[in-house]
């Protein structure tokens, strides 16, 4: 009887469904937050370590993720520490993993504690390996949400401090903007892999011509005399230069033609092929950081929806005029979260001991 009943079970369907459930549960288990003890020091403190492998995201994707986790940690009473020493980024040099904390090349630690302090301490939470710790601290599409922008802006201004070399470099580069950005329109135009790969559930970017037309209107209406362009797309730069000529300002930045991108490969892949050494990868991140920093100093801003635009909105103390293009998502709207999705449930599988439970 038992053998006969098997004939009526759609084995492939059951097998596929079971494997999907198991894979999802196993993936969530591996990515969950973990409580660890590495020694007996700092028994009165709980450290919250932020970091996971991500070679696709640029410097502002890394920064924005850190801000989401920092906001959660601070509100929970933890001490956040960023670890991009033991996790790989696109700025990690060939021999840097496990030796160099990429975060500390650009920024200081939020509370001044180092990884050496953390990995001798009694109470350590390794953050869940998700971009955000929960829905409450998720940036999402906050481009037109003034209160949400201000929320993350406040955490940036209080807890993100540049490395001394980076700070001096950024302040020196302000000289590129006439009168420190007064009467300058800042434009972030993301192209490259967003246009060639059309990644599902990622924002559809406008064409160069759409952004150029909008820029012309804004410059006329708000009396902007120059335009600062942040883009890693050489084709976009050429389009803007043809229209704005000497009024166009750019900082030093490696730009890539869309024809240079291998099929199916993201921009980060090609950038890592060009910048092979630790020094050149650091420089690439510094130039990108500088471009967004200079955008934040402009009086007016236009941007495509991406991590860099979020960065410009957070770094800025407020623009005279701002506009972000919203042309929808590739592949339709983002699928609503299921009831059992960790991002909807809240704490992403974090099993907090009672003495370090979030407050």
State the average pLDDT over residues 71-75.
97
Give me the pLDDT at residue 56, please.
Answer: 78
333 or 58, higher pLDDT: 58
pLDDT band at 111 (very low <50, low <70, confident <90, very high): very high
Task: Annotate 64-128 with three-state secondary structure.
Answer: HHHHHHHHHHHHHCCEEEECCCCCCECCCCCCCCCCCCCHHHHECCCCCCCHHHHCCEEEEEECC
pLDDT band at 352 (very low <50, low <70, confident <90, very high): very low
- pLDDT digit string, tens, across residues 210-224: 999 999 999 999 999
Give me the pLDDT at residue 348, please.
Answer: 39
Whether the Cβ atoms of residue 228 and residue 344 lie closer than 8 Å to each other: no
State the average pLDDT over residues 234-244.
95
pLDDT at residue 65 tops 50: yes
pLDDT at residue 70 tops 50: yes
Give me the pLDDT at residue 353, please.
Answer: 35
Provide φ and ψ at 235, rounded to 5°: -65, -40
Task: Annotate the chain with three-state secondary structure.
Answer: CHHHHHHHCCHHHHHHHHHHHHHHHHHHHHHCCEEECCCCEEEEEEEEEECCCECCCCHHHHHHHHHHHHHHHHHHCCEEEECCCCCCECCCCCCCCCCCCCHHHHECCCCCCCHHHHCCEEEEEECCCCCCCCHHHCCCCCCCCHHHHHHHHHHHHHHCCECHHHHHHHHHHHHHCHHHHCCEEEEECCCHHHHHCCCCCCECCCCHHHHHHHHHHHHHHHCCCEEEEECCEHHHHHHHHHHHHHHEECCCCCCECHHHCCCCCCHHHHHHHHCCCHHHHHHHHHHHHHHHHHHHCCCEEEECCCHHHHHHHHHCCCCCEEEECCCCECCCCCCCCCCCCHHHHCCCCCCCCHHHCCC
pLDDT band at 1 (very low <50, low <70, confident <90, very high): very low
Average pLDDT, the chain: 83
Write the CB contacts of 271 (distance below 8 Å, at least 6 apart in sequence). Answer: 90, 232, 254, 256, 284
- pLDDT digit string, tens, across residues 124-175: 999 988 888 888 999 988 888 999 999 999 999 999 999 999 999 999 999 9
Provide φ and ψ at 347, rounded to 5°: -95, 10
Give me the pLDDT at residue 177, please.
Answer: 98
Share of the chain above pLDDT 90, in %: 59
Instruction: Quote the CA–CA distance of 115 and 97 in Å, as a whole number.
Output: 14
């Amino acid at each position: 009887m038992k053998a006969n009943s098997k004939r009526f079970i759609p084995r492939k369907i059951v097998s596929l469904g079971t494997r999907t459930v198991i894979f999802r549960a196993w993936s969530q288990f591996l990515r969950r937050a973990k409580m660890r003890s590495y020694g007996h020091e700092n028994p009165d403190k709980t450290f919250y370590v932020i970091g996971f492998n991500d070679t696709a995201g640029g410097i502002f994707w890394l920064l924005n993720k850190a801000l989401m986790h920092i906001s959660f940690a601070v509100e929970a009473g933890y001490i956040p520490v960023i670890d991009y020493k033991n996790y790989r980024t696109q700025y990690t040099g060939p021999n840097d993993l496990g030796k160099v904390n990429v975060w500390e090349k650009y920024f200081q630690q939020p509370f001044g504690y180092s990884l050496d302090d953390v990995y001798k301490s009694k109470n350590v939470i390794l953050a869940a390996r998700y971009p955000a710790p929960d829905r409450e601290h998720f940036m999402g599409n906050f481009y037109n949400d003034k209160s949400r922008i201000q929320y993350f802006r406040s955490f940036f201004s209080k807890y993100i401090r540049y490395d001394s070399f980076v700070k001096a470099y950024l302040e020196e580069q302000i000289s590129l903007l006439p009168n420190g950005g007064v009467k300058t329109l800042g434009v972030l135009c993301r192209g490259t892999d967003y246009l060639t790969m059309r990644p599902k559930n990622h924002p559809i970017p406008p064409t160069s011509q759409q952004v150029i037309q909008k820029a012309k209107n804004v410059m006329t209406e708000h009396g902007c005399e120059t335009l600062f362009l942040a883009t890693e797309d050489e084709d976009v730069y050429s389009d803007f230069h043809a229209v704005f000529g000497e009024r166009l300002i750019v900082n030093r930045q490696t730009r890539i033609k869309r024809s240079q991108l291998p099929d199916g490969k993201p921009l980060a892949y090609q950038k890592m092929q060009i910048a092979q050494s630790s020094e050149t990868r650091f420089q690439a991140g510094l130039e990108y950081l500088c471009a967004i920093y200079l955008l934040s100093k402009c009086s007016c801003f236009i941007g495509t929806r991406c991590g860099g635009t979020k960065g410009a909105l957070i770094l800025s103390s407020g623009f005279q005029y701002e506009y972000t293009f919203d042309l929808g998502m590739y592949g339709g709207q983002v699928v609503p979260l299921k009831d059992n999705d960790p991002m909807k449930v809240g704490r992403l599988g974090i099993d907090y001991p009672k003495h370090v439970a979030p407050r």
